[in-house]
Amino acid sequence: MAKKTATFAQRLREGLDLRGMKQIELATRSGISKYSISHYLKGDWEGKQDAVYELARALNVSEAWLMGYDVPAERSAPKVSVQLDKKPTIPPGFMPLPKMRKVPLIGAIACGDPITAIQNREGDVNAPVDMRCDFALKCQGESMIGAGIHDGDVVYIRIQPEVENGEIAAVRIGEEATLKRVYLHNDYIELRPENPAFESIIRRREEMNDVQIEGKAVGWMHWIG
């Protein structure tokens, strides 16, 4: 049986040095707070089983070695049985994931009352490679729930100045922006919600100079939960 030849604190310090890792990085990788790691390194606390496991996994060392036992430091790779003669199969009723690409997430758009347009790039989101879109917006509000677009969903927009009647579009009204179905009538434009709790936005012909279609909604991403 292997004997203990070092303390948990000593091995934790040695593991950090071995991986060239700082405490803050270890905290991020392991989910253990930097405060707790500091106490472990000082020897104030002994790591419990769940903490030892997470720290060992983050450092890619064996749990026994981290606890101070005289065993190799390297973590044993799990044994995996691979059948090379069988290709992965997709369960009935499921579809394979499409290939994805990154598109910019450039801000928020109202699915309710129009909000001040926000066009600061917040990062990137994934979009299917065959989806013709130029950017994405995060929806705020519940005016489009009838179309399946909920508060917090991400909607993909293809830049174009015109849409067909009934299509969903990102529309700028002066300095505000909203996501609605667009209907162009003889002397006015109607921006119609998909929720009876909200009213259509109407702009008469003399007010249309303030209305600009930014692009057509070509898809959206919804989280369940």
Positions marked active-site: 143, 180
Q: Are 212 and 191 in contact (CB under 8 A)?
A: no
140-158 as b/e: b if 16+ CB within 10 A? bbbbbbebebbeebbbbbb
Question: CA 214, CA 210: separation in Å to the nearest integer?
Answer: 12
Give Cα 36 to chain centroid, integer Å.
28
Sign of CA dihedral 132, 135, 140, 143: negative
Amino acid at 126: N
For 106, the 3-state DSSP assignment is strand
Listing DSSP states for 16-84 in one string gives HHHHT--HHHHHHHH---HHHHHHHHHTSSPPPHHHHHHHHHHHTB-HHHHTTBSS-SBPPPPP----T
Structure tokens at 56: 């060992």
Question: CA 153, CA 138: separation in Å to the nearest integer?
Answer: 6
